Structure 1
Amino acid sequence: MLVFWKERLILLAVPKTGTTAIEGALAPRAQMVLRDPPQIKHAPLYRTRRFVTPLIEAAGGEGFETVAAVREPVDWLGSWWRYRRRDDLAGHANSTRNVPFEEFVDQYARGKPAPYASVGSQARFVGCGEGSIGVDHLFRYEAMDRLVAFLEERLGTTIELPRLNVSPKHPMELPDHVASKLRRKRAAEFEVWQAARG
């Protein structure tokens, strides 16, 4: 998470949406950089409003807006699945090393997924707790150029994005019945992505 004081802007770090690269480019320009541990770096909107916003307001800051990116849900899940296949997670409950992508997505679509498929919700991350989007400026990961253009204009700077924290490539196949189940059970994920600027 990055806070830009003069510009009254908070950049939320939705996991697996290129936020590490954005942080790498803009951290020197930010007044507050919350990067570690991951629970703080990736604080969702509701937690930001509960803990970060009061801190800002106590220091005399007001009128801050939020900006974030969300990723197409199947692609987002694919990034998580590939990320959790890495060597250092082998044998861990979160490892997807021996889990086919189809099974990972099927588990994610359940009410209580297996630990390896428990990766949160983009809709909940950017939501305001009432089933609607709470982030002021929401962009699609797939249209990163629009997010970058917004940040360049808002911050009055040029941004060169490095490629950081990229999950290794691995083939992903998703049968129609699993894709349909995902859309039915996790409809909010697709609705949020559709509503973002693309």
Structure 2
Amino acid sequence: MLVFSRQNLVLLSVPKTGSTAYEAALAPHAAMVIGAPPELKHAPVFRYNRFFRPMIERFIGEGPDVVAVMREPVDWLGSWYRYRRRDALAGHANSTAEVSFDEFVSAYCRGDQPPFARVGSQAKFLEPQRNGTRVTHLFSYEDQAGFRGFLERRLGVSIGPPSCNRSPPLSLDLSAHIEARLRRKYAADFALHDGIGPDGRYEVPAPSPPPVS
């Protein structure tokens, strides 16, 4: 997470969307850099709202723009799958070295996800809060030029983000019936990504209703 006080801007770090590269490029221009631990670096909207927003609004002003990037859901899962195949995870419960992409996505769609398939949900990460806290500008990962252009205009800097934490290339095959299951179970993720328009405009989903007691 990066906070830009003069520009009244907060950049959230959605995992597997190139956030580490942008953090490296923009950290010198930020008033605050939350780079560790991962639970804080990759704070979702609900955690930002609870822990960071009150402090940020007290010192830099109310209602900062909150910016984030979202990746096409199948491609996002592919990035997680490749990342967890790395040698450093060999023999670990999170490793995907011994499973196919089909098996990985199928496990992700289960209610009792095994450790290697527990990667969260982008829609849940970006879910607006009941007090109105939400992402105000959401860019598609596939629109790097649009996202970079927005940041350059807003921050008044030229950005050439380095390549960081790139997963090794790997051909990923997903069977039609597994993809259909994924699209049904995570319809909110696909709908949110499909709703992203130019300049970070997107359809704001309604907050989740309170649980029924």
TM-score scaled by length of structure 2:
0.89
Partner secondary structure for residue 36 of structure 2: coil
RMSD: 1.5
Q: Hey, what's the Cα distance between the residues in 1 that align with 2:83 and 2:20?
A: 14
2:138 paired with 1:138: yes
CA contact (8 A) 1:127 1:133 kept: no
Alignment match, 2:76: 76
Matched to 2:192, the amino acid is V
State the Cα distance separating 1:156 from its structure 2 match: 0.9
Change in Cα spacing, 1:121 to 1:27, as seen in structure 2 (3 Å) is: same
Q: Describe the superposition over 1:62-90 as per-residue Cα deviations: whole angstroms up to 9, x where unpaired.
A: 22110000000000000000000011111
Change in Cα spacing, 1:173 to 1:60, as seen in structure 2 (3 Å) is: closer
State the Cα distance separating 1:61 from its structure 2 match: 2.6
Q: Give matches, 1:44-123, under 5 Å.
A: 44-59=44-59, 61-123=61-123
Alignment match, 2:161: 161
Unmatched 5+ stretches in structure 1: none
Q: Hey, what's the Cα distance between the residues in 2 that align with 1:60 and 1:144?
A: 28
* Percent of pairs with identical residues: 53
Alignment match, 1:173: 173
CA contact (8 A) 1:46 1:128 kept: yes
Q: Hey, what's the Cα distance between the residues in 1 that align with 2:141 and 2:60?
A: 32
Q: Hey, what's the Cα distance between the residues in 2 that align with 1:40 and 1:57?
A: 18
Alignment match, 1:194: 194
> Which segment drifts farther, 60-69 or 39-48?
60-69
State the Cα distance separating 1:60 from its structure 2 match: 5.0
State the Cα distance separating 1:127 from its structure 2 match: 1.0
Q: Hey, what's the Cα distance between the residues in 2 that align with 1:197 and 1:166?
A: 26
Q: Hey, what's the Cα distance between the residues in 2 that align with 1:106 and 1:133?
A: 33
Q: Hey, what's the Cα distance between the residues in 1 that align with 2:129 and 2:57?
A: 21
Partner secondary structure for residue 98 of structure 1: coil
Q: Describe the superposition over 1:25-69 as per-residue Cα deviations: whole angstroms up to 9, x where unpaired.
A: 100000000001111100001100110111113335322110000
Q: Give matches, 1:28-47, under 5 Å.
A: 28-47=28-47
> Which segment drifts farther, 155-164 or 70-79?
155-164
CA contact (8 A) 2:84 2:95 kept: yes
Q: Hey, what's the Cα distance between the residues in 1 that align with 2:142 and 2:197?
A: 10
TM-score scaled by length of structure 1:
0.95
| 4+ runs deviating over 2 angstroms | 57-61
> Which segment drifts farther, 51-60 or 11-20?
51-60
